[in-house]
Amino acid sequence: MNVLLVTMHIQPEHREDFMKSMLDDARGSVADEPGCLRFDVLQDAKDPNTIYLYEAYRDEAAFQEHLKAPHFIRWRDTVKDWYAAPTQVSNCRSVFPSDQAWVKPPIKNG
């Protein structure tokens, strides 16, 4: 299992457009990538310009495929100048649920 926790700080004037592009990437990830098991986009309750991602991929190969996906490339190229600070990425391993327990849930409201 390859899990990422990402923290991004966005320039306030770009937040709305950033979120549109971010949601396009998130939806594309879960809809079009068999190896993407989860892609959560979270907004800080006190600072709406701080965005967190929780991404879970079956393995490193699935994550590498994500980096080649058209929706990711579109997002990356669109938002590249909209950050207020460097992005922080933590690589994690899933303790619970175990790797064997992960399944790709259906998307019901996306």
CATH number at residue 61: 3.30.70.100
Q: What pairs with residue 42 in β-bridges?
A: 52
Q: Is the residue at 59 inside a domain?
A: yes
In this structure, is residue 26 part of a structural domain?
yes
Does residue 110 sit within a domain? no
Per-residue pLDDT reduced to its tens digit, 39-48? 999 999 999 9
User: Full-prediction pTM beyond 0.85?
Assistant: yes
* Tokens found for residue 52: 């967190």
Rg of the Cα atoms in the chain? 14
**Which domain, by its residues, includes 79?**
2-94
pLDDT, tens digit, for every residue of 61-85?
999 999 999 999 999 999 999 999 9
Q: How many domains does the chain have?
A: 1
Residue 16 lies in a domain: yes
Instruction: Look at residue 109 and tell me if it is in a domain.
Output: no
What is the number of other CB atoms lying within 10 angstroms of the CB of residue 58? 18
